[in-house]
Amino acid sequence: MIIRSKAPLRIGLAGGGTDVSPYSDIYGGAILNATVSLYAYASIKPTSDGKIVLNAIDRNERIVLNSEEYLAIDGVLNLLKGVYNRIVKDFIHKPLSFELNTYVDAPPGSGLGSSSTLVVAIVGAFVEWLKLPLGEYDIAHLAYSIEREDLKMAGGKQDQYAATFGGVNYMEFYNNDKVIVNPLRIKTKFLQELEHNLVLFYTQTSRLSSEIIKQQTDNVNANKESSIGAMHQLKEQSLLMKEAILKGEVDSIGKILHDGWEHKKLMAEGISNPSIDAIYAAALSAGATGGKISGAGGGGFMIFYAPYIHKYQLIKELSSFGGSVMNYNLTTEGLTTWTV
């Protein structure tokens, strides 16, 4: 028997950063994101040899451990260990013996929520295997709790919910970890136009998002007016983005992205840099009407909106920066699990 799961990565279209505490606790956050056809995968093969095999295929990391109720969090495959520890602690209360294999279509630090999506995929595999009574909100919140509370990893709340629910969602974040996911019912032709005109570009760099998120958190705690004001504007951008997509005013998305990017750079230092600025300026010259970094900033993936046929000139221009344009589709399905 093999238990499999996959969960989609996401691109953040508007409001990114307003899902991070303490801003979301004090003011309430709002984000609009969309999942894409890049995935985190997890496969579990139950065994009876008293061993736990953890294998991150994309990272070339593999360890074999004795089956115990708690696996030490020591910097080696912490995400995999963290999920196992929590599943045993909350539901099973005894050691398990199995082989867990994982793979992610995008590298860590890419800005597509890869770490959180991987946690969702692993949780989903355990839920499928052990028939745990968890719904979508339960899985997303458990994944958030494992990553942010158990493993003390800095970040927001959107990634776990995007990976679990899938599709284009407007998400609201409140105090006490309250999250409301609003799936958007978008006409197919509007989604197709959005997909056609959005270019996803990997800068071939990754970044440690925790450093940027810490600065953002410190700025809110210090009541830094420019940072908090920028987050207020980003939250407003998510409403504008939702309205534009639902109404089919797709070509207004470029300006919304551009305005959001200008405000996002004010949240914390390091969100942009000379390399990113050069790529962004070249994209505008090639016909893009706006864009942004996907994720906390500093590197990883960028997204650009290029209407009409400017997409093709944009792709040609971006090729001179040494990165790569990623082919993708917008997806409607979130976490998926099955047993073979």
Catalytic annotation on 159? yes
* Active-site annotation holder among 159, 177, 259, 277: 159
Do residues 298 and 209 make contact, with C-beta atoms less than 8 angstroms apart? Answer: yes
Q: Which residues contact 293 (CB under 8 A, 6 or more apart)?
A: 111, 261, 264, 271, 272, 276, 299, 300, 301, 302
DSSP assigned state of 327: P
Q: Which residues contact 155 (CB under 8 A, 6 or more apart)?
A: 20, 115, 116, 147, 148, 209, 210, 213, 296
Cα–Cα separations (whole angstroms), residue 37 to 34, 90, 108, 216? 10, 32, 17, 30
Going 249 to 19 to 75 to 271, the CA torsion angle's sign is: positive
Do residues 305 and 269 make contact, with C-beta atoms less than 8 angstroms apart? Answer: no
Integer Cα distance of 258 and 44 in angstroms: 43
Going 162 to 244 to 258 to 21, the CA torsion angle's sign is: negative
Cis peptide before 8 (omega within 30 of 0): no
Integer Cα distance of 66 and 58 in angstroms: 23
Which among 279, 281, 273 has a CA at the least distance from the CA of 322? 279
Task: Give catalytic residues, as residue numbers.
Answer: 159
